[in-house]
């Protein structure tokens, strides 16, 4: 088995690009590909201590209107953050002056104190443990699960390495190694 990592936030054409397995976080679009759920995560609202020192800490979701949130340009639906308000899940549309289209840039802007983000625990757990990010608005968490799937092309003669690697991932994600 040969492992090549191609980190990207865009959905690739797996067949055209010769990719055997993709890890997709979030709801899957309808597809002719096979998918196996290997875990789930949730999104956390976070900011760097330096940002909070300069701008204050939001105490309720409505306070986000007065803060700089780092936005996603290509997946704008992720700029509507879900919170539990008055016993029901509601969306709060956030705004900001910084827009990115890649997850690593999203994280790096937050780590540099440039604004507030909403990212998966998988992405922010280590930075929270190290004190480089602070989780915010936890009392309002909607705890909406974010599925994580291994996706692979449906082929009549699937190489044995593909299901073997999917099983390996399932084992490694149980329990999730990013749990805080």
CATH number of this structure's domain 14-41+145-172: 3.40.190.10
Rounded to whole angstroms, the Cα distance separating 69 from 47 reads 9
pLDDT recorded at residue 144: 82
CB 105 within 8 A of CB 99: no
pLDDT (0 to 100) of residue 156: 64
Q: Which fold has domain 43-140?
A: D-Maltodextrin-Binding Protein; domain 2 (3.40.190)
Q: Please indicate whether the domains covering 14-41+145-172 and 43-140 agree at the CATH topology level.
A: yes
For 37-65, give one letter per residue: b (16+ CB within 10 A) or e.
Answer: ebbebebbbbbbeebbeeeeebeebeebe
Q: What confidence score (pLDDT) does residue 57 get? A: 97
Please say whether the beta carbons of 137 and 58 come within 8 A: yes
Residue 21 pLDDT: 85
Listed in order, strand segments (DSSP E) in the chain are 22-25, 34-41, 43-47, 70-72, 80-85, 88-93, 98-100, 117-120, 134-136, 146-152
Distances (CA, A) of 94 to 9, 43, 163: 21, 15, 40
Whether 51 contacts 115, CB under 8 Å: yes
pLDDT in 10s for each residue of the chain, 180 residues: 667 776 766 677 777 777 788 888 888 876 777 888 888 899 999 999 999 999 999 999 999 999 999 998 877 778 899 999 988 999 999 998 899 988 788 999 999 999 999 999 989 999 999 999 999 999 999 878 889 888 887 766 677 888 888 888 888 888 877 774
The two structure tokens encoding residue 27: 């709801």
Domain ranges of the chain: 14-41+145-172, 43-140
């Amino acid at each position: 088995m040969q492992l090549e990592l191609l980190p990207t936030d865009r959905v690739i054409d797996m067949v055209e690009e010769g990719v055997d397995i993709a890890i997709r976080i979030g709801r899957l679009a309808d597809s002719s590909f096979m998918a196996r759920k290997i875990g789930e995560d949730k999104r956390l609202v976070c900011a760097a201590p330096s940002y909070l020192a300069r701008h204050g800490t939001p105490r309720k979701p409505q306070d986000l209107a007065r803060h700089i949130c780092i936005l996603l340009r290509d997946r704008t639906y992720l700029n509507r953050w879900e919170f539990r308000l008055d016993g029901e899940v509601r969306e709060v549309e956030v705004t900001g002056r910084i827009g990115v289209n890649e997850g690593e840039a999203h994280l790096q802007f937050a780590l540099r104190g440039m604004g507030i983000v909403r990212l998966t625990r998988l992405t922010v757990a280590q930075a929270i443990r190290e004190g480089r990010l602070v989780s915010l608005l936890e009392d309002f968490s909607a705890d909406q699960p974010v599925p994580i799937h291994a996706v692979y092309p449906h082929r009549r003669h699937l190489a044995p390495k593909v299901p073997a690697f999917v099983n390996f991932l399932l084992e490694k994600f149980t329990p999730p190694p990013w749990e805080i």
